[in-house]
Amino acid sequence: MRPNPPTPLLFGGIFFLTCGTLVFELSLIRLFSVAHWYHFAFLVVGIAMLGLGAAGSFLIIFAKWLSRISRGYLSNVAFFFSLAVLASYLITNQIPFDQQKIAWDVWQFAYLLFYFFVLAMPPFFTGLILASLYTNYSQQIGKFYFYDILGAALGSIAVLKVSAFANGLGGIWTAAFCGLVSSVLFNPRLVHFLPKIGILGIVVGTAFFKPSLFLLNLSEYKALPQLLRPANSKILHTQWTPLARLDFMQSPIVHFAPGLSLRSYSSLPEQLGVVVDGGNLNALTKFDGSPSSLSFVEHLPSALPYHLSKISSVLVCEPRGGLDFLSALYFDTFEIEGVGIYNKIANIAREKFHEFSGGLFNDFSVNLHTMSPRAYLKQTSKRYDLISLPISDSFGAASTGIYGPSEDYLFTVEAFMECLQHLSDDGWLYVACYILPPLRQELRLMSLAISALEANGRQYPEKHLIAIRTLETFSILAKVRPIARDEMTILKSFCEERGFDVVYHPGIAIDDVNRFNRFQEPIFHKAFTALLNDSTRTVFLQNYDFDVWPTTDDRPFFGHFFRLDKLREEFEIFGRKWTAFFEGGYLVAALFLQACLLSLVLIVLPLLLAKHRTALPDIKNAKLAILGYFFSIGLAYMLIEIVFIQRFILVLEHPLYAASAVIASLLMSSACGSYVSKKVATSSRWTIGRHILLLAIVVLLYVVLISRILNVWMGYDLLTRYLFTGILIAVPGFLMGFPFPVGIRTLGQKQEHLIPWAYCANGTASVIGTSLAVLVAMEWGFSWTVVMASVFYLIAAALGNRL
């Protein structure tokens, strides 16, 4: 039986359904990043997306469902999607899962499996509708696919606007609403959709009258619940933004002064905690407007540059709670500037805590630029006596957590070079991190500084560097001119007075190290001596148990230290605790393995259980070609998408903006490609293989050109950069829109019943591709990830004509 011709309402239904699915998934990542941790969010949502592929698998096994594409059926499934969105959030919010407990509580694995199952339901319903429609309308696939990815593109933009509302649940409500609209469009008869609106209305009413049911539960191990421990602590202000949840809170146990000397511990003024996503702690420090009341900053390691030189101008990158501004004010700095994309904290402080912060952010002497430090440095020609980078967060702390381990373009060789170029002749670059042995961050910071100095033409970088450490922090100071003898004298007395250890200065003796904060061996000194010595550096980096090579814009994963060839040694170093690997981003590897395993099940299961499998042996070779083709194009698409997102963060300044812009642009151009695919692909001289070959070549061209293009663009204003990004991505995006619909159409002519299986292979490959892209980028860089995508397209090109 042939289905009725598609109507505009049907396309509208698809559009809203895929829009809702994307909004749901992206919102979940945001919510789980707050309730748990970013990498958990990445893992869970990644696996949940397999629900799309599972629908394809389901339809192969229960083939009779394929013919159920009546208006009523589609409408009901779309409504189930809507209910599943709300139910999955409510259920997962109540499940007592906590990843912290995994190390000792086996029940947590059961909870985790339940999480996967529940969260996979909304994408499953979406997949059920899409796979059914693709099978029944295989010859009009271009148009269907167009509305499918156009909806997803809109969802990726809409999530930016809606996720901050309703206590962070705006995305969930929007996704449910999209499902309802989709349901209505599929079957717009009053008698059908009124009861559905009624049911959803009851849920909305419940949320209105009993909001506590819907409020997000945070892991008890996160910073926010910990800070709320004392009886007299409370949250003063909470704000959800598209980028993060910010909590300003009062608690007697707030203590944020990285590296403060233990000798002056009690001098820290009252602070308000500023907690980002329930986890990362920063603080607003009480300031009465008089710099003399800030004497505690004298006891911070960040006071060192002010002692070494007269600092007249300072640029604070990512000032957050403004602690570095207080130092600058205390030391009477004439010109104080801050630059960062997280200036929301400053805005809230200005509006809500003006008196507490002594008008710090309103002060005319503090000039705040809201943009990424890299973009600002590209656009300004000013030079500073001090450029201060933010203290590097603990390992793997992602800014949004959308796509795995954090890419940080402020901690790359190129970024350090940019900073050095904006220093005055006697200016200092100051950068710090928390100490957490075994040494990794500290060594990477040092190797970054060395590489940047060398790239800036300093033949002897060891003459331009100073390093100190406190109980909890490690700091590096680099300058363009060689360190002077009197500066070394000041450095020694500064550290002596505060109980800080000098780790390195030119000509340091081993007796001068490891005195106050003592390791059993002077491990810092030994490692740095090896790193700073030109003849031993490469051997040291090659043999060290962790990857501490300098990070670059092509591989900007500052928090990734694990080496595939040293995993055994690293496992021993961490006391045979596998959980330590999660912090370095290897949870992505866990996702990859799980996704591979589940994908295998989803792909193989239909072959074992399908009722019409008797017909399958005749097309054995074709089956492999189908699998290979759709799997390859799915993998290649996601590899490129993820690389583009990570690469464009550099020019679009924030991972969330980059993700939205890239996904929207890529999907919209792919939608256009899909729409016109029928005309092009049916041309007698143009085969699917040739098309994909062209696509692979275009993608490879981007590998060569992209670094240069992005470097030039950084100097333009944000709007222009967005525009250029859209155009640059649209070219491959348009071509990437062809392979899927052309493949489905071809399959529809010969083996229509296998379309759900192809859909399943493509869907599961997308999930595998997401984690594979991050893994390959972490190990070998973005360029090789794109090369890998091209290889997958070449495989698809070879298989395309055998469908």
Helix (H), strand (E) at residue 502 = strand 501-504
Decide if 388 contacts 324 (C-beta within 8 A). yes
Task: Kindly tell me which of 434 and 724 has the beta carbon lying closer to other proteins.
Answer: 434
- Residues of this chain that interact with other proteins (CB under 8 A) are 37, 98-101, 103-105, 167, 212, 215-221, 223-230, 235, 238, 247, 252-253, 255, 262-263, 265-266, 268, 281, 394-395, 434-438, 471-472, 499, 516-520, 573-575, 577, 579-580, 582-583
Decide if 557 contacts 405 (C-beta within 8 A). yes
Nearest-CA neighbor of 325 among 365, 275, 369, 288? Answer: 365
Q: To 5 degrees, how large is the angle CA 317–CA 554–CA 778? A: 100
Q: To 5 degrees, how large is the angle CA 177–CA 180–CA 186? A: 145
- Closest CB 468 distance from other proteins, rounded Å: 14
Backbone phi, then psi, for 754, in 5-degree steps? -90, 0
Backbone phi, then psi, for 587, in 5-degree steps? -65, -30
Task: Kindly tell me which of 457 and 575 has the beta carbon lying closer to other proteins.
Answer: 575
Q: To 5 degrees, how large is the angle CA 634–CA 696–CA 723? A: 85
Report in angstroms the alpha-carbon separations of 740 from 121, 291, 650.
24, 64, 30
Strand bridging mode 366-370 / 245-250: unpaired
Helix (H), strand (E) at residue 490 = helix 485-498
Helix (H), strand (E) at residue 282 = strand 280-285
Task: Give, as one character, the DSSP assignment of residue 291.
Answer: G
Decide if 342 contacts 349 (C-beta within 8 A). no
Task: Kindly tell me which of 530 and 580 has the beta carbon lying closer to other proteins.
Answer: 580
- Closest CB 109 distance from other proteins, rounded Å: 14
Separation of alpha carbons 150 and 153, rounded Å: 5
- Closest CB 150 distance from other proteins, rounded Å: 36
Task: Kindly tell me which of 292 and 520 has the beta carbon lying closer to other proteins.
Answer: 520
* Peptide bond before residue 438 is cis, with ω within 30 degrees of 0: yes
Tokens of 336: 């104080």
- Closest CB 570 distance from other proteins, rounded Å: 12
Tokens of 504: 């390195």
Q: Identify the burial level of 389 via C-beta atoms within 10 angstroms of its C-beta, where 0-12 means exposed, 13-18 middle and 19 or more buried.
A: buried
Task: Kindly tell me which of 520 and 543 has the beta carbon lying closer to other proteins.
Answer: 520
Task: Kindly tell me which of 63 and 102 has the beta carbon lying closer to other proteins.
Answer: 102
- Closest CB 467 distance from other proteins, rounded Å: 17
- Closest CB 281 distance from other proteins, rounded Å: 8
Separation of alpha carbons 728 and 562, rounded Å: 33
Decide if 341 contacts 372 (C-beta within 8 A). yes
Report in angstroms the alpha-carbon separations of 557 from 409, 454, 539, 579, 582.
8, 21, 22, 20, 15
Q: Identify the burial level of 73 via C-beta atoms within 10 angstroms of its C-beta, where 0-12 means exposed, 13-18 middle and 19 or more buried.
A: middle
- Closest CB 715 distance from other proteins, rounded Å: 38
Report in angstroms the alpha-carbon separations of 174 from 22, 188, 216, 625.
11, 20, 17, 39
Longest dimension (CA), the chain: 90
- Closest CB 427 distance from other proteins, rounded Å: 31
Task: Kindly tell me which of 217 and 367 has the beta carbon lying closer to other proteins.
Answer: 217
Chain centroid offset of residue 742 CA? 32
Task: Kindly tell me which of 37 and 549 has the beta carbon lying closer to other proteins.
Answer: 37
Strand bridging mode 366-370 / 384-388: unpaired
Backbone phi, then psi, for 333, in 5-degree steps? -75, 135
- Closest CB 795 distance from other proteins, rounded Å: 39
Task: Kindly tell me which of 471 and 605 has the beta carbon lying closer to other proteins.
Answer: 471
Separation of alpha carbons 165 and 163, rounded Å: 6
Task: Kindly tell me which of 257 and 345 has the beta carbon lying closer to other proteins.
Answer: 257
Task: Kindly tell me which of 348 and 671 has the beta carbon lying closer to other proteins.
Answer: 348
Task: Kindly tell me which of 97 and 713 has the beta carbon lying closer to other proteins.
Answer: 97
Task: Kindly tell me which of 247 and 553 has the beta carbon lying closer to other proteins.
Answer: 247
Order across the sheet with 271-276: list the strands.
234-240, 245-250, 271-276, 280-285
- Closest CB 95 distance from other proteins, rounded Å: 13
Tokens of 774: 């991050």
Task: Kindly tell me which of 309 and 517 has the beta carbon lying closer to other proteins.
Answer: 517
Strand bridging mode 423-434 / 473-479: antiparallel
- Closest CB 290 distance from other proteins, rounded Å: 24
Helix (H), strand (E) at residue 730 = helix 718-736
Task: Kindly tell me which of 16 and 494 has the beta carbon lying closer to other proteins.
Answer: 494
- Closest CB 302 distance from other proteins, rounded Å: 16
Nearest-CA neighbor of 78 among 3, 151, 167? Answer: 151
Decide if 324 contacts 475 (C-beta within 8 A). no
Task: Kindly tell me which of 223 and 635 has the beta carbon lying closer to other proteins.
Answer: 223
Task: Kindly tell me which of 164 and 794 has the beta carbon lying closer to other proteins.
Answer: 164
Decide if 235 contacts 248 (C-beta within 8 A). yes
